[in-house]
Chain A
Amino acid sequence: SQKIEQNSEALNIQEGKTATLTCNYTNYSPAYLQWYRQDPGRGPVFLLLIRENEKEKRKERLKVTFDTTLKQSLFHITASQPADSATYLCALSSGGYNKLIFGAGTRLAVHP
Protein backbone atom coordinates (compact mmCIF):
# COMPACT_ATOMS: atom_id res chain seq x y z
CA SER A 1 0.00 0.00 0.00
CA GLN A 2 1.07 3.61 -0.49
CA LYS A 3 2.99 5.10 2.41
CA ILE A 4 4.70 8.40 3.28
CA GLU A 5 7.08 8.64 6.23
CA GLN A 6 8.74 11.70 7.64
CA ASN A 7 11.93 10.86 9.48
CA SER A 8 11.04 11.70 13.01
CA GLU A 9 8.20 13.15 14.93
CA ALA A 10 10.46 15.83 16.42
CA LEU A 11 13.85 17.32 15.63
CA ASN A 12 15.78 19.60 17.99
CA ILE A 13 18.71 21.66 16.73
CA GLN A 14 20.82 24.59 17.78
CA GLU A 15 20.35 28.00 16.21
CA GLY A 16 22.67 28.55 13.25
CA LYS A 17 22.88 24.85 12.32
CA THR A 18 21.33 23.25 9.27
CA ALA A 19 18.12 21.33 9.85
CA THR A 20 17.56 18.34 7.56
CA LEU A 21 14.13 16.74 7.36
CA THR A 22 13.42 13.54 5.46
CA CYS A 23 10.39 12.37 3.54
CA ASN A 24 10.36 8.76 2.29
CA TYR A 25 7.62 7.17 0.27
CA THR A 26 6.72 3.74 -1.06
CA ASN A 27 4.42 2.57 -3.83
CA TYR A 28 4.08 6.05 -5.30
CA SER A 29 5.34 7.63 -8.48
CA PRO A 30 4.56 11.26 -7.72
CA ALA A 31 4.77 13.83 -10.48
CA TYR A 32 5.78 16.40 -7.86
CA LEU A 33 6.39 16.80 -4.17
CA GLN A 34 5.68 19.79 -1.96
CA TRP A 35 6.77 21.01 1.46
CA TYR A 36 4.56 22.99 3.80
CA ARG A 37 5.07 24.69 7.15
CA GLN A 38 2.38 24.52 9.83
CA ASP A 39 2.39 26.58 13.02
CA PRO A 40 0.21 25.55 16.00
CA GLY A 41 -3.43 26.47 15.44
CA ARG A 42 -2.79 27.63 11.88
CA GLY A 43 -3.26 26.24 8.40
CA PRO A 44 -0.31 24.83 6.44
CA VAL A 45 1.65 27.33 4.35
CA PHE A 46 3.28 26.32 1.07
CA LEU A 47 7.07 26.52 0.94
CA LEU A 48 8.48 24.71 -2.10
CA LEU A 49 7.47 22.40 -4.93
CA ILE A 50 9.86 20.07 -6.76
CA ARG A 51 9.01 17.99 -9.83
CA GLU A 52 10.05 14.42 -10.58
CA ASN A 53 12.54 15.60 -13.23
CA GLU A 54 14.21 18.10 -10.87
CA LYS A 55 17.00 17.17 -8.48
CA GLU A 56 17.11 20.27 -6.33
CA LYS A 57 15.19 23.47 -5.65
CA ARG A 58 16.22 26.45 -3.53
CA LYS A 59 14.45 29.39 -1.99
CA GLU A 60 16.40 31.70 0.31
CA ARG A 61 17.61 29.49 3.21
CA LEU A 62 15.51 26.52 2.08
CA LYS A 63 16.67 23.68 -0.16
CA VAL A 64 14.75 20.63 -1.30
CA THR A 65 16.12 17.57 -3.07
CA PHE A 66 14.12 14.83 -4.76
CA ASP A 67 15.55 11.39 -5.51
CA THR A 68 12.99 9.27 -7.36
CA THR A 69 15.30 6.25 -7.27
CA LEU A 70 15.62 6.33 -3.48
CA LYS A 71 12.00 7.55 -3.25
CA GLN A 72 13.12 10.27 -0.90
CA SER A 73 13.04 14.03 -0.50
CA LEU A 74 15.30 15.98 1.83
CA PHE A 75 14.34 19.42 3.12
CA HIS A 76 17.14 21.62 4.45
CA ILE A 77 16.95 24.87 6.39
CA THR A 78 20.37 26.51 6.59
CA ALA A 79 21.38 28.99 9.31
CA SER A 80 18.31 27.97 11.28
CA GLN A 81 16.59 30.45 13.57
CA PRO A 82 14.16 29.99 16.48
CA ALA A 83 11.49 31.47 14.17
CA ASP A 84 11.89 28.38 11.97
CA SER A 85 10.38 26.26 14.77
CA ALA A 86 7.21 24.69 13.36
CA THR A 87 5.88 21.44 11.93
CA TYR A 88 6.99 20.70 8.38
CA LEU A 89 4.82 18.55 6.14
CA CYS A 90 5.74 16.85 2.90
CA ALA A 91 3.01 16.14 0.37
CA LEU A 92 3.05 14.00 -2.76
CA SER A 93 0.85 14.27 -5.79
CA SER A 94 -1.20 11.14 -6.24
CA GLY A 95 -3.09 10.77 -9.48
CA GLY A 96 -4.71 13.69 -11.25
CA TYR A 97 -6.65 16.72 -10.07
CA ASN A 98 -3.82 17.92 -7.83
CA LYS A 99 -4.65 15.34 -5.16
CA LEU A 100 -2.02 15.65 -2.45
CA ILE A 101 -1.20 12.99 0.12
CA PHE A 102 0.46 14.42 3.24
CA GLY A 103 2.97 12.92 5.62
CA ALA A 104 2.44 13.19 9.37
CA GLY A 105 4.98 16.00 9.65
CA THR A 106 8.17 16.62 11.58
CA ARG A 107 8.10 19.08 14.47
CA LEU A 108 11.26 21.18 14.33
CA ALA A 109 12.47 23.08 17.39
CA VAL A 110 15.38 25.50 16.96
CA HIS A 111 16.98 26.47 20.27
CA PRO A 112 18.88 29.73 20.84
Chain B
Amino acid sequence: DTAVSQTPKYLVTQMGNDKSIKCEQNLGHDTMYWYKQDSKKFLKIMFSYNNKELIINETVPNRFSPKSPDKAHLNLHINSLELGDSAVYFCASSPPRGSRGASDGELFFGEGSRLTVL
Protein backbone atom coordinates (compact mmCIF):
# COMPACT_ATOMS: atom_id res chain seq x y z
CA ASP B 1 0.00 0.00 0.00
CA THR B 2 1.20 3.51 -0.69
CA ALA B 3 1.48 5.42 2.56
CA VAL B 4 3.50 7.21 5.18
CA SER B 5 4.50 4.67 7.81
CA GLN B 6 6.00 5.32 11.22
CA THR B 7 7.56 2.98 13.74
CA PRO B 8 7.08 2.38 16.55
CA LYS B 9 3.40 3.23 17.06
CA TYR B 10 3.83 3.29 20.84
CA LEU B 11 6.91 4.05 22.86
CA VAL B 12 7.11 4.06 26.67
CA THR B 13 10.44 5.01 28.20
CA GLN B 14 12.12 6.50 31.23
CA MET B 15 13.30 10.08 31.60
CA GLY B 16 16.85 10.54 30.45
CA ASN B 17 16.77 7.79 27.82
CA ASP B 18 17.47 8.28 24.12
CA LYS B 19 14.94 7.05 21.55
CA SER B 20 14.30 7.16 17.82
CA ILE B 21 11.19 7.18 15.66
CA LYS B 22 11.43 6.14 12.05
CA CYS B 23 9.36 7.32 9.10
CA GLU B 24 9.18 6.12 5.53
CA GLN B 25 7.03 7.22 2.63
CA ASN B 26 6.60 5.41 -0.66
CA LEU B 27 4.58 8.16 -2.33
CA GLY B 28 7.57 9.53 -4.21
CA HIS B 29 7.30 12.86 -2.39
CA ASP B 30 10.24 15.24 -2.05
CA THR B 31 9.30 16.88 1.23
CA MET B 32 8.87 15.30 4.65
CA TYR B 33 7.93 16.73 8.04
CA TRP B 34 7.79 16.01 11.73
CA TYR B 35 4.87 17.41 13.71
CA LYS B 36 4.22 17.13 17.45
CA GLN B 37 0.67 16.89 18.82
CA ASP B 38 0.45 17.56 22.54
CA SER B 39 -2.25 16.64 25.04
CA LYS B 40 -4.30 19.70 24.02
CA LYS B 41 -4.30 18.39 20.44
CA PHE B 42 -2.28 21.26 18.99
CA LEU B 43 -0.33 20.04 15.99
CA LYS B 44 2.98 21.94 15.77
CA ILE B 45 5.58 21.69 13.08
CA MET B 46 9.07 20.74 14.21
CA PHE B 47 11.15 20.05 11.11
CA SER B 48 10.89 19.72 7.37
CA TYR B 49 13.28 18.23 4.83
CA ASN B 50 13.20 18.64 1.08
CA ASN B 51 15.28 16.11 -0.83
CA LYS B 52 17.38 15.38 2.27
CA GLU B 53 17.98 19.07 2.95
CA LEU B 54 16.67 20.70 6.15
CA ILE B 55 14.34 23.57 5.19
CA ILE B 56 12.24 24.16 8.30
CA ASN B 57 13.69 24.03 11.79
CA GLU B 58 11.31 25.43 14.37
CA THR B 59 12.25 26.36 17.91
CA VAL B 60 12.84 22.84 19.10
CA PRO B 61 15.34 21.80 21.80
CA ASN B 62 18.55 20.53 20.26
CA ARG B 63 17.90 17.21 22.02
CA PHE B 64 15.74 16.56 18.94
CA SER B 65 17.74 15.69 15.86
CA PRO B 66 16.14 14.74 12.55
CA LYS B 67 18.01 12.69 9.98
CA SER B 68 17.07 12.09 6.38
CA PRO B 69 19.22 9.37 4.78
CA ASP B 70 17.26 9.71 1.53
CA LYS B 71 14.14 11.54 0.41
CA ALA B 72 11.89 8.62 1.33
CA HIS B 73 13.01 8.48 4.96
CA LEU B 74 12.98 10.96 7.82
CA ASN B 75 13.91 9.75 11.28
CA LEU B 76 13.68 11.60 14.58
CA HIS B 77 16.15 10.98 17.36
CA ILE B 78 15.52 12.37 20.83
CA ASN B 79 18.25 12.53 23.48
CA SER B 80 17.81 12.81 27.24
CA LEU B 81 14.04 12.46 27.16
CA GLU B 82 12.00 14.69 29.48
CA LEU B 83 8.44 14.36 30.79
CA GLY B 84 7.34 17.23 28.54
CA ASP B 85 8.36 15.27 25.46
CA SER B 86 5.35 13.00 25.96
CA ALA B 87 3.14 13.54 22.91
CA VAL B 88 2.12 12.00 19.63
CA TYR B 89 4.68 12.59 16.88
CA PHE B 90 3.41 12.63 13.31
CA CYS B 91 5.47 12.24 10.20
CA ALA B 92 4.07 13.68 6.98
CA SER B 93 5.08 14.15 3.37
CA SER B 94 3.93 16.39 0.54
CA PRO B 95 4.39 16.30 -3.20
CA PRO B 96 6.15 19.03 -5.16
CA ARG B 97 3.94 21.98 -6.04
CA GLY B 98 1.95 21.49 -9.17
CA SER B 99 2.25 17.68 -9.08
CA ARG B 100 -0.40 15.96 -11.10
CA GLY B 101 -3.23 14.63 -8.98
CA ALA B 102 -2.26 16.45 -5.82
CA SER B 103 -3.25 19.78 -4.40
CA ASP B 104 -0.50 22.22 -3.58
CA GLY B 105 0.69 21.78 -0.06
CA GLU B 106 -1.49 18.81 0.84
CA LEU B 107 0.13 16.82 3.63
CA PHE B 108 -0.07 13.05 3.86
CA PHE B 109 0.28 12.03 7.51
CA GLY B 110 1.40 8.81 9.10
CA GLU B 111 -0.62 7.24 11.91
CA GLY B 112 1.51 8.78 14.63
CA SER B 113 3.92 7.52 17.28
CA ARG B 114 2.72 7.96 20.84
CA LEU B 115 5.67 8.66 23.12
CA THR B 116 5.20 8.39 26.88
CA VAL B 117 8.05 9.46 29.12
CA LEU B 118 7.81 8.23 32.73
Whether the Cβ atoms of B48 and A99 lie closer than 8 Å is yes
Contacts of A87 in B (CB 8 A): 41
Given A99-B56, A105-B41, CB of A42 within 8 Å of CB of B105 = no
Taking CB atoms and an 8 Å cut-off, the chain B residues in 95-118 that contact chain A are: 97, 103-112
Distance (whole angstroms) from the CB of B21 to the closest CB of chain A? 13
Given A44-B107, A46-B106, CB of A98 within 8 Å of CB of B112 = no
Whether the Cβ atoms of B90 and A43 lie closer than 8 Å is yes
- Secondary structure dominating the interface of B: strand
Among residues of A, the one whose C-beta sits closest to the C-beta of B105 is A98
Whether the Cβ atoms of A101 and B105 lie closer than 8 Å is no
Q: Is A85 on the interface with B (CB-CB < 8 A)? A: no
Interface size class of B (residues with CB under 8 A): 20 to 34
Q: Mark B13-39, 1 if CB is under 8 A from A, else 0.
A: 000000000000000000100010000
Q: Is A32 on the interface with B (CB-CB < 8 A)? A: yes
- Secondary structure dominating the interface of A: strand
* Residue in B48, B103, B111 whose Cβ sees the most chain A Cβ within 10 Å: B103
Q: Is B83 on the interface with A (CB-CB < 8 A)? A: no
Whether the Cβ atoms of A43 and B44 lie closer than 8 Å is no
Whether the Cβ atoms of A43 and B109 lie closer than 8 Å is yes
Distance (whole angstroms) from the CB of A28 to the closest CB of chain B? 15
Whether the Cβ atoms of A32 and B45 lie closer than 8 Å is no
Distance (whole angstroms) from the CB of A66 to the closest CB of chain B? 14
Among residues of A, the one whose C-beta sits closest to the C-beta of B96 is A98
Whether the Cβ atoms of B104 and A43 lie closer than 8 Å is no
Whether the Cβ atoms of A100 and B104 lie closer than 8 Å is no
Among residues of B, the one whose C-beta sits closest to the C-beta of A57 is B103
Q: Mark B53-68, 1 if CB is under 8 A from A, else 0.
A: 0011000000000000
Given contacts A34-B107, A49-B103, A98-B31, 14 further A-B contacts (CB under 8 A): A32-B104, A34-B106, A43-B111, A44-B107, A49-B104, A87-B41, A91-B43, A93-B105, A97-B55, A97-B56, A100-B105, A100-B107, A104-B40, A105-B41
By Cβ-Cβ distance, the 9 closest A-B pairs, closest first, are A43-B109, A102-B43, A49-B103, A46-B106, A98-B105, A97-B55, A44-B109, A43-B111, A43-B110
